[in-house]
Amino acid sequence: MEYVRKLMDRVSVEGVKIELLNTAYGNGDTFFARLDPRTLFLWYLYFGIAPWFIHNEVLLLGMFLFMVVTTILSRVSPLIILILCLGLMSQVGYLFIVSWLFSGGGEAILPLLKLTMKLSVISMASITAFCSMDPERLSDGLLRIGVPKQVSFGIAYGYRMLPSLVEEYHHIFLSFRLRGVAPQRHGMLYWRSIVYFLKIAVLSFYPLILSIAKRTRTTVEALEAKGFSYAYHSPEVKRIKLSYMRFTMRDAVFLVVSGLYVMMLYVLAAQISI
Protein backbone atom coordinates (compact mmCIF):
# COMPACT_ATOMS: atom_id res chain seq x y z
CA MET A 1 0.00 0.00 0.00
CA GLU A 2 3.08 2.19 0.29
CA TYR A 3 3.18 2.05 -3.47
CA VAL A 4 -0.38 3.34 -3.74
CA ARG A 5 0.42 6.26 -1.47
CA LYS A 6 3.45 7.19 -3.57
CA LEU A 7 1.37 6.99 -6.72
CA MET A 8 -1.32 9.18 -5.21
CA ASP A 9 1.31 11.76 -4.25
CA ARG A 10 2.50 11.92 -7.79
CA VAL A 11 -0.96 12.11 -9.32
CA SER A 12 -1.86 15.46 -7.86
CA VAL A 13 -4.59 17.64 -9.27
CA GLU A 14 -2.04 20.24 -10.34
CA GLY A 15 0.03 17.64 -12.16
CA VAL A 16 -2.97 16.36 -14.03
CA LYS A 17 -3.95 19.86 -15.11
CA ILE A 18 -0.46 20.62 -16.38
CA GLU A 19 -0.29 17.33 -18.25
CA LEU A 20 -3.64 18.06 -19.88
CA LEU A 21 -2.59 21.47 -21.08
CA ASN A 22 0.66 19.98 -22.35
CA THR A 23 -1.27 17.43 -24.38
CA ALA A 24 -3.43 20.15 -25.81
CA TYR A 25 -0.97 22.92 -26.56
CA GLY A 26 2.45 21.39 -26.04
CA ASN A 27 3.28 20.42 -29.61
CA GLY A 28 2.27 23.22 -31.91
CA ASP A 29 5.48 23.25 -33.93
CA THR A 30 5.68 19.65 -35.15
CA PHE A 31 5.33 18.72 -38.79
CA PHE A 32 1.82 17.38 -38.26
CA ALA A 33 0.62 20.41 -36.36
CA ARG A 34 1.20 22.57 -39.42
CA LEU A 35 -0.76 20.34 -41.80
CA ASP A 36 -4.30 21.17 -42.77
CA PRO A 37 -6.76 19.37 -40.48
CA ARG A 38 -8.56 17.92 -43.49
CA THR A 39 -5.36 16.25 -44.67
CA LEU A 40 -5.00 14.56 -41.33
CA PHE A 41 -8.65 13.44 -41.37
CA LEU A 42 -8.22 11.96 -44.83
CA TRP A 43 -5.01 10.25 -43.80
CA TYR A 44 -6.64 8.91 -40.64
CA LEU A 45 -9.62 7.64 -42.59
CA TYR A 46 -7.40 5.11 -44.31
CA PHE A 47 -5.16 4.10 -41.42
CA GLY A 48 -8.05 3.99 -39.00
CA ILE A 49 -10.27 1.66 -41.03
CA ALA A 50 -8.11 -0.37 -43.38
CA PRO A 51 -6.16 -2.38 -40.76
CA TRP A 52 -9.34 -4.12 -39.62
CA PHE A 53 -9.69 -5.77 -43.02
CA ILE A 54 -6.04 -6.60 -43.61
CA HIS A 55 -4.85 -10.02 -42.60
CA ASN A 56 -1.42 -9.97 -44.18
CA GLU A 57 1.47 -9.91 -41.70
CA VAL A 58 3.94 -8.09 -43.95
CA LEU A 59 1.45 -5.36 -44.67
CA LEU A 60 0.54 -4.94 -41.01
CA LEU A 61 4.16 -4.87 -39.92
CA GLY A 62 4.97 -2.22 -42.51
CA MET A 63 2.06 -0.09 -41.37
CA PHE A 64 3.08 -0.58 -37.76
CA LEU A 65 6.60 0.71 -38.46
CA PHE A 66 5.21 3.68 -40.35
CA MET A 67 2.92 4.52 -37.43
CA VAL A 68 5.79 4.27 -34.97
CA VAL A 69 7.68 6.82 -37.04
CA THR A 70 4.73 9.21 -37.26
CA THR A 71 4.02 8.88 -33.54
CA ILE A 72 7.62 9.75 -32.73
CA LEU A 73 7.47 12.69 -35.13
CA SER A 74 4.32 14.04 -33.50
CA ARG A 75 6.10 14.15 -30.11
CA VAL A 76 3.20 13.11 -27.91
CA SER A 77 3.76 12.93 -24.17
CA PRO A 78 5.17 9.67 -22.75
CA LEU A 79 2.14 9.37 -20.48
CA ILE A 80 -0.13 8.80 -23.47
CA ILE A 81 2.18 6.14 -24.89
CA LEU A 82 2.26 4.42 -21.49
CA ILE A 83 -1.54 4.41 -21.27
CA LEU A 84 -1.74 3.02 -24.80
CA CYS A 85 0.72 0.19 -24.10
CA LEU A 86 -0.97 -0.74 -20.83
CA GLY A 87 -4.37 -0.83 -22.49
CA LEU A 88 -3.19 -3.02 -25.36
CA MET A 89 -1.31 -5.43 -23.15
CA SER A 90 -4.05 -5.86 -20.58
CA GLN A 91 -6.74 -6.45 -23.20
CA VAL A 92 -4.87 -8.93 -25.36
CA GLY A 93 -2.93 -10.61 -22.56
CA TYR A 94 -6.12 -11.28 -20.67
CA LEU A 95 -7.75 -12.72 -23.78
CA PHE A 96 -4.75 -14.99 -24.25
CA ILE A 97 -4.87 -16.33 -20.69
CA VAL A 98 -8.56 -17.12 -20.90
CA SER A 99 -8.19 -18.81 -24.29
CA TRP A 100 -5.41 -20.89 -22.75
CA LEU A 101 -7.87 -22.06 -20.10
CA PHE A 102 -10.14 -23.17 -22.94
CA SER A 103 -7.30 -25.39 -24.20
CA GLY A 104 -6.29 -22.83 -26.82
CA GLY A 105 -2.56 -23.32 -26.35
CA GLY A 106 0.05 -21.81 -28.62
CA GLU A 107 -2.18 -21.50 -31.69
CA ALA A 108 -3.92 -18.52 -30.20
CA ILE A 109 -0.71 -16.48 -29.97
CA LEU A 110 -0.36 -15.63 -33.64
CA PRO A 111 -3.93 -14.39 -34.23
CA LEU A 112 -3.85 -12.41 -31.01
CA LEU A 113 -0.51 -10.90 -31.94
CA LYS A 114 -2.03 -9.85 -35.24
CA LEU A 115 -4.98 -8.35 -33.42
CA THR A 116 -2.60 -6.40 -31.18
CA MET A 117 -0.78 -5.12 -34.23
CA LYS A 118 -4.02 -3.97 -35.82
CA LEU A 119 -5.18 -2.26 -32.67
CA SER A 120 -1.85 -0.52 -32.19
CA VAL A 121 -1.75 0.70 -35.80
CA ILE A 122 -5.22 2.17 -35.41
CA SER A 123 -4.55 3.80 -32.08
CA MET A 124 -1.19 5.21 -33.11
CA ALA A 125 -2.82 6.67 -36.21
CA SER A 126 -5.41 8.41 -34.06
CA ILE A 127 -2.76 9.66 -31.66
CA THR A 128 -0.79 11.10 -34.56
CA ALA A 129 -3.82 12.68 -36.15
CA PHE A 130 -5.66 14.04 -33.14
CA CYS A 131 -2.98 14.79 -30.55
CA SER A 132 -0.88 16.86 -32.88
CA MET A 133 -3.66 19.28 -33.70
CA ASP A 134 -4.30 21.96 -31.14
CA PRO A 135 -7.94 22.36 -30.11
CA GLU A 136 -8.70 25.35 -32.32
CA ARG A 137 -7.48 23.62 -35.45
CA LEU A 138 -9.27 20.43 -34.52
CA SER A 139 -12.58 22.16 -33.93
CA ASP A 140 -12.26 24.24 -37.10
CA GLY A 141 -11.35 21.17 -39.08
CA LEU A 142 -14.36 19.29 -37.77
CA LEU A 143 -16.58 22.25 -38.56
CA ARG A 144 -15.19 22.36 -42.08
CA ILE A 145 -16.09 18.75 -42.83
CA GLY A 146 -19.64 19.32 -41.72
CA VAL A 147 -19.75 18.25 -38.10
CA PRO A 148 -22.44 20.19 -36.20
CA LYS A 149 -21.32 23.42 -34.60
CA GLN A 150 -22.12 22.19 -31.11
CA VAL A 151 -19.25 19.73 -31.39
CA SER A 152 -16.68 22.31 -32.33
CA PHE A 153 -18.05 24.63 -29.69
CA GLY A 154 -17.85 21.81 -27.15
CA ILE A 155 -14.17 21.23 -27.85
CA ALA A 156 -13.29 24.89 -27.47
CA TYR A 157 -15.42 25.17 -24.34
CA GLY A 158 -13.97 22.02 -22.83
CA TYR A 159 -10.41 23.20 -23.12
CA ARG A 160 -11.27 26.58 -21.72
CA MET A 161 -13.42 25.44 -18.80
CA LEU A 162 -11.82 22.23 -17.73
CA PRO A 163 -9.06 23.63 -15.50
CA SER A 164 -11.53 25.71 -13.52
CA LEU A 165 -14.05 22.86 -13.28
CA VAL A 166 -11.39 20.49 -11.98
CA GLU A 167 -10.35 23.09 -9.44
CA GLU A 168 -13.90 23.62 -8.28
CA TYR A 169 -14.48 19.91 -7.91
CA HIS A 170 -11.25 19.60 -5.97
CA HIS A 171 -12.32 22.38 -3.60
CA ILE A 172 -15.67 20.76 -2.92
CA PHE A 173 -13.96 17.42 -2.40
CA LEU A 174 -11.52 18.94 0.09
CA SER A 175 -14.26 20.69 2.00
CA PHE A 176 -16.16 17.40 2.32
CA ARG A 177 -13.02 15.85 3.74
CA LEU A 178 -12.51 18.76 6.07
CA ARG A 179 -15.98 18.56 7.56
CA GLY A 180 -16.46 14.80 7.44
CA VAL A 181 -15.04 12.03 9.58
CA ALA A 182 -12.54 9.74 7.94
CA PRO A 183 -12.74 6.08 8.99
CA GLN A 184 -10.65 5.24 12.07
CA ARG A 185 -9.10 2.09 10.60
CA HIS A 186 -8.29 1.43 6.98
CA GLY A 187 -9.78 -2.05 7.02
CA MET A 188 -8.69 -5.00 4.95
CA LEU A 189 -7.09 -3.89 1.67
CA TYR A 190 -7.96 -0.31 2.62
CA TRP A 191 -11.60 -0.98 1.77
CA ARG A 192 -13.00 1.41 4.37
CA SER A 193 -10.91 4.27 3.04
CA ILE A 194 -11.69 3.40 -0.57
CA VAL A 195 -15.42 3.33 0.13
CA TYR A 196 -15.14 6.62 2.02
CA PHE A 197 -13.33 8.35 -0.84
CA LEU A 198 -15.66 6.98 -3.49
CA LYS A 199 -18.66 8.14 -1.49
CA ILE A 200 -17.24 11.65 -1.22
CA ALA A 201 -16.38 11.61 -4.91
CA VAL A 202 -20.05 10.95 -5.68
CA LEU A 203 -21.48 13.32 -3.07
CA SER A 204 -19.28 16.19 -4.25
CA PHE A 205 -21.28 16.27 -7.45
CA TYR A 206 -24.41 17.56 -5.75
CA PRO A 207 -23.10 21.10 -5.12
CA LEU A 208 -21.15 20.95 -8.36
CA ILE A 209 -24.27 20.24 -10.42
CA LEU A 210 -25.98 23.32 -9.04
CA SER A 211 -23.02 25.61 -9.52
CA ILE A 212 -22.33 24.38 -13.04
CA ALA A 213 -26.00 24.95 -13.84
CA LYS A 214 -25.60 28.59 -12.85
CA ARG A 215 -22.37 28.89 -14.78
CA THR A 216 -24.02 27.34 -17.84
CA ARG A 217 -26.78 29.88 -17.79
CA THR A 218 -24.25 32.70 -17.68
CA THR A 219 -22.32 31.14 -20.55
CA VAL A 220 -25.38 30.75 -22.74
CA GLU A 221 -26.54 34.29 -22.02
CA ALA A 222 -23.11 35.61 -22.96
CA LEU A 223 -23.18 33.52 -26.14
CA GLU A 224 -26.60 34.83 -27.09
CA ALA A 225 -25.42 38.38 -26.50
CA LYS A 226 -22.77 37.71 -29.11
CA GLY A 227 -25.31 36.23 -31.50
CA PHE A 228 -24.29 32.58 -31.29
CA SER A 229 -27.59 31.12 -32.56
CA TYR A 230 -27.66 33.56 -35.43
CA ALA A 231 -24.10 32.72 -36.40
CA TYR A 232 -24.95 29.05 -36.11
CA HIS A 233 -27.53 29.31 -38.85
CA SER A 234 -25.50 31.53 -41.12
CA PRO A 235 -23.27 29.90 -43.74
CA GLU A 236 -21.57 33.25 -44.36
CA VAL A 237 -20.18 33.37 -40.82
CA LYS A 238 -18.84 29.88 -41.18
CA ARG A 239 -17.19 30.73 -44.48
CA ILE A 240 -15.40 33.73 -43.00
CA LYS A 241 -14.36 31.81 -39.91
CA LEU A 242 -12.84 28.98 -41.90
CA SER A 243 -11.36 30.98 -44.74
CA TYR A 244 -7.81 30.60 -43.44
CA MET A 245 -7.69 26.87 -44.13
CA ARG A 246 -6.04 25.84 -47.34
CA PHE A 247 -4.08 22.90 -48.70
CA THR A 248 -0.39 23.58 -49.25
CA MET A 249 2.49 21.70 -50.82
CA ARG A 250 3.26 20.23 -47.44
CA ASP A 251 -0.12 18.46 -47.36
CA ALA A 252 0.29 17.14 -50.87
CA VAL A 253 3.78 15.81 -50.16
CA PHE A 254 2.60 14.14 -46.97
CA LEU A 255 -0.35 12.42 -48.65
CA VAL A 256 1.67 11.34 -51.68
CA VAL A 257 4.49 9.92 -49.55
CA SER A 258 2.04 7.99 -47.38
CA GLY A 259 0.22 6.72 -50.44
CA LEU A 260 3.45 5.60 -52.12
CA TYR A 261 4.59 3.87 -48.96
CA VAL A 262 1.33 1.95 -48.65
CA MET A 263 1.45 0.96 -52.30
CA MET A 264 5.02 -0.25 -51.88
CA LEU A 265 3.87 -2.33 -48.93
CA TYR A 266 1.14 -3.91 -51.01
CA VAL A 267 3.61 -4.83 -53.72
CA LEU A 268 6.02 -6.15 -51.13
CA ALA A 269 3.27 -8.17 -49.47
CA ALA A 270 2.39 -9.71 -52.81
CA GLN A 271 6.03 -10.74 -53.31
CA ILE A 272 6.66 -12.21 -49.88
CA SER A 273 4.11 -14.71 -48.68
CA ILE A 274 4.32 -16.19 -45.24
Partner 1 sequence: MAQLRQRYVLTQSQKMMVFILSMSLYGLSNMITELIPSVRLGPIELSVEYFAFIPLTLCILFHPFYAAVGAALGEVIFGEIMLGQFGGLGELEKFIAFSLAMFIAGTLVNDPKNRRQVGVAAMTGVIIHQFISCTVDIAKVWIGVEEFEAVPGLAQSVVVVEGVAFLNDVLFSGILFALLPTLYLVPRLYGKIEPLLGMKPRNNKMKYSLGEIIAPRLIVVSIILALLAAVAEFLSESDMALMEWDADYLNSIGGWFVWVSIGAAAVVACLTIWVLVRRGKRSRTAGTGI
In contact, 58 and 265? CB cutoff 8 Å: yes
Rounded Cα gap, residues 51 and 97, in angstroms: 24
Name which of 206 and 244 has its Cβ closer to partner 1. Answer: 206
Q: Among 30, 33, 44, 207, which residue interacts with partner 1 (rule: CB under 8 A)?
A: 44
In contact, 200 and 173? CB cutoff 8 Å: yes
73 binds partner 1 (CB under 8 A): no
- The least distance separating partner 1 from the CB of residue 1, rounded to whole angstroms, comes to 12
C-alpha dihedral sign at 259, 264, 266, 267: positive
For partner 1, the binding residues in 147-186 under the rule CB under 8 A are: 147-148, 150-151, 154-155, 157-159, 161-162, 165-166, 169
Nearest to 48 by CA among 146, 159, 124: 124
In contact, 67 and 128? CB cutoff 8 Å: yes
- Only segment of 28-36, 64-72, 218-226, 248-256 that touches partner 1 (CB under 8 A): 218-226
Q: Among 193, 219, 245, 255, which residue interacts with partner 1 (rule: CB under 8 A)?
A: 219
252 binds partner 1 (CB under 8 A): no
Rounded Cα gap, residues 54 and 114, in angstroms: 10
From residue 92 to residue 131, the character string flagging contacts with partner 1 as x (rule: CB under 8 A) and all else as - is --xx--xxxxxxxx-xx--xx-xx--xx--xx-xxx-xxx
261 binds partner 1 (CB under 8 A): no
Strand, coil or helix: what is 47?
helix
Alpha-carbon 198 to chain mean position: 25
For partner 1, the binding residues in 6-35 under the rule CB under 8 A are: 7, 11, 16, 20, 23-24
